[in-house]
A = this chain, B = another copy of it.
Amino acid sequence: MRKSREETARTRRHIVETGAVELRRNGIAGTGLVEVMAAAGLTQGGFYRHFDSKDALVTECLANALDSLRASIQSAAATRPGRAGVLFAIDSYLSEAHLKSESGCPFVALGSELARAGREVRDVASDAFLKLVDVIAAHLDDVGPVAAKKEALVLLSTMVGAMSLARLISDGEVTAMLLAQARKSLGRQVREGAAASRRAK
């Protein structure tokens, strides 16, 4: 049953992609290899032809998921120039669709588990976060790059925090209010950001 190199590579990519979804749905500890392989249409036995360990899979799936997040924020921001792009990216992130999504932000879906993860996993998460900061900061082009980065750090903190809390709150009305309020407040911050930053100097 040996497969061609091309098909092997395709299978591997497929495992990573379905694994990236399963991991965000059930968490790192809550996701089994049998489950990931089954979701990819395979049996558990073949897993170790592609990866050294569960940890190696987690690292790759996380990198994949973080890349999706960056791509999605980047393309949302790219629809409008400067701060308007950031506003749009924020509204997309803090949407009901993202709230219910099973392939959303890994910082929300895996946040507390990532903090306890090994060196390699945390490095992947850290690097991806800094890239995300740069994506946002690049759109805050009416202040200096350092000020833009600092501003982006705080915007992302609120985004991740609001979505994390929205996910765990069981009362749908509060959830909706929280997201709406975060969008509103970040909107104000982003619009007034340049002025506030200037004032702060």
Contact = CB atoms under 8 A, between A and B. Distances in A.
B200 A169 contact: no
Contacts of A114: 168
A122 B182 CA distance: 21
A188 B199 CA distance: 11
Contacts of A151: 185
A110 interface: yes
Interface size class for chain A?
35 or more
A164 B165 contact: no
Contact of A182 (B111, B123, B153): B153
Contacts of A130: 171, 174
Question: Which of A110, A167, A168, A182 has the largest number of chain B CB atoms within 10 A?
Answer: A168
Given A111-B164, A112-B164, 9 more contacts: A27-B112, A29-B30, A114-B168, A122-B168, A125-B169, A130-B174, A153-B178, A156-B161, A158-B158
Interface of A: 26-27, 29-30, 107-117, 119, 122-123, 125-126, 129-130, 150-151, 153-154, 156-162, 164-165, 167-171, 174, 177-178, 181-182, 185, 188-189, 196, 200
